[in-house]
A and B are shown apart, each in its own frame.
Chain A
Amino acid sequence: MVVYALIALIAGVVCGRLAGDFPVFEFLLAHSEMVLNFLMFSVGVSIGFQKGVFAKIRQYHIKALIIPALVIVGSFAGGLIGCAVTGYPLAEGTAIASCMGWYSLGGITIEQLSGGMYGGIAFLSNLMREILSFFLIPLLIKWLNAASCIAAAGATSEDTTLPMMMKYTTEEYVVLSVINGALCSAAVPVMITLCYQIFG
């Protein structure tokens, strides 16, 4: 998926540079908000399909909820510090950090709200989180604990980084990892909304 996403982004940049006023491209740019709404509906449907996750959350109770809650708070706090370092507006900075590694949705949602620059940063920053956490998991399990690996992976802990969790942690943490990914993913659009509501 990362490769396809990068190809789509680069193709978009090249087309925008060379033929941005091509009618099909102008139509797409004018209607991207509608496409995003369709995507959000589809994302909701796939969360609704995950009936197993709902059952597991009931089984693990508070333990299942504490990691995602802390990941959401930690990412938001990281965004606040990032704003202090870079001088970015609080709404954009916290929203970028609150994507928790979901680069595709984060990038396109923030692009809709704040334009290409912030969308690009949200995309890149969260793509980096996915890639970095993938390679950091073996080190985090050695230096810290299994829950820390889930925290670094953020919303990606249910898909792209899950194989690393399977390799380096126990079955229990693999289940917690899937629950964390599902809950963090569902929280991404909510957190982006919240960041713009609080600071916008």
Chain B
Amino acid sequence: MHMLVTLIMCAGILVGRLLLPDKLATGNGKLQTALTLLLIFSMGLSIGGDENLLRDLPVIGVDSLIFCVLAMAASTALVYVVTRRLFDKGARK
């Protein structure tokens, strides 16, 4: 299923780039928001229907924070180390 998701997105990129007029961008953005909210609601349904999951919510919160901080820290550190040598360091106002 996951490969299909990427292929569908690539098809969308081609259609957006080559076939559709730019004036559809606003409509497409609204459709995206609506579909996203519908899917988030649906994710809520599956979380709400699972009693164990609701009980484990505090643990889930801590684990989420761990993944957030580690992903952020690793990408920030990597970009800093590489760009410090390559880019202009004084890029601030």
Interface residues of A in 9-49 (CB under 8 A from B): 9-18, 20, 25, 28-29, 32-33, 35-49
Cross-chain contact of A16 among B10, B45, B67, B69 (Cβ < 8 A): B45
Cross-chain contact of A152 among B9, B38, B66, B72 (Cβ < 8 A): B72
Q: Are A146 and B92 in contact (CB under 8 A)?
A: yes
Q: How far is the CB of A117 from chain B (nearest CB, A)?
A: 5
We find that the number of chain A residues with CB closer than 8 angstroms to chain B is 104
* Closest Cβ neighbor of A130 among chain B residues: B68
B28-66 near A? 1/0 per residue, CB < 8 Å: 110111011111111111111110011010001101111
**Could you write out 12 A-B pairs with CB less than 8 Å apart?**
A13-B45, A13-B48, A16-B44, A16-B50, A29-B42, A33-B1, A35-B38, A41-B9, A113-B2, A148-B83, A168-B92, A197-B2
| Chain A residues at the B interface, C-beta cutoff of 8 Å | 1, 4-5, 8-18, 20, 25, 28-29, 32-33, 35-49, 51, 63, 66-67, 70-75, 77-79, 81-82, 85-86, 88, 93, 96-98, 100, 104-105, 107-109, 111-113, 115-117, 119-121, 123-126, 128-129, 132-133, 136, 140-141, 144-148, 150-152, 154, 168-170, 172-173, 186, 189-190, 192-193, 196-197
